[in-house]
Copies of this chain bind each other. A is one copy, B any other.
Amino acid sequence: MELKTAMTSRQDLFDTLAQVGKALGSGHRLMLLERIAQGEASVETLASTADLTVGNASAHLQHLRRAGLVTATRCGKQMLYRLTDQRIVTLMGLMREVAETNLAEMERLVSRMFPDANPDGALEAISRDELLSGLNSGDVALLDVRPEEEFEAGHLPTAINIPLGQLESMLDELPRDREIIAYCRGPYCVLSHEAVQRLRKLGYQVRRFDEGFPEWKAAGLPIH
């Protein structure tokens, strides 16, 4: 047995900092964070989005909580988790950029998962700046294809919500005269890719926004 000195060491500092890294070091926890970034959610909701048992999800959420990434508040029977800090969205975005730039495996997975996101193809996504100028000039209509609950918790200004499951049954909400920009949870969410593919087959002029609601919000842009 070794005596612990009361002295604080550099090692302690880095170990504590590493807790944040550890929390980000699990695919399951990153999925939970992706969902939490849409707005507060209950353990059950989070468990089902991340495809975990409730007990397991709860344990991961405790882990995220100890790392200072999320907080929880009780609301009736439920425990609602939310991000402590919008910078966490930026942090995950940077991780994504670093991974996509420097991990061959990542690039391979992304292009397999989203084959339509080919840079040559007409389906290429539009950037935040392009979207902003499109919105200013009124040239585009915004389509939020996330579930209603997430839309209600916050969405881009002027966006209309058609959850993916109801896409074909709500086509009359969509304009034919303007380009439609679909968005969802973020770069690794399939919803907007799906929506674009299905709407294109129906003849709509539609592209994806290459980020999602959390990134828009974290950038300090206005939300509703």
Residues of A in contact with B (beta carbons under 8 Å apart): 8-31, 34, 51, 67-69, 84-85, 87-88, 90-91, 94-99, 101-103, 105-106, 109-110, 112-113, 188, 190
Closest residue of B by beta carbon distance from A88 = B98
Chain B residues with CB below 8 A from A9, complex form: 113
- Contact of A69 with B98 at beta-carbon distance under 8 Å, contacts A10-B113, A16-B103, A18-B25 already known: yes
Mind listing 30 A-B residue pairs with CB under 8 Å? A8-B109, A9-B113, A10-B31, A10-B188, A11-B27, A11-B31, A11-B51, A12-B109, A12-B113, A13-B188, A14-B27, A14-B34, A16-B99, A16-B105, A17-B99, A17-B188, A18-B26, A18-B29, A21-B24, A21-B26, A22-B26, A24-B25, A25-B25, A67-B103, A68-B103, A69-B102, A85-B101, A85-B102, A88-B98, A91-B94
A171 → B minimal CB distance (Å): 27
Closest chain-B Cβ to A154's Cβ sits at a distance in Å of 21
Nearest Cβ on chain B to A175's Cβ, whole angstroms: 31
What residues of B have a CB within 8 angstroms of the CB of A102 in the complex? 68-69, 84-85
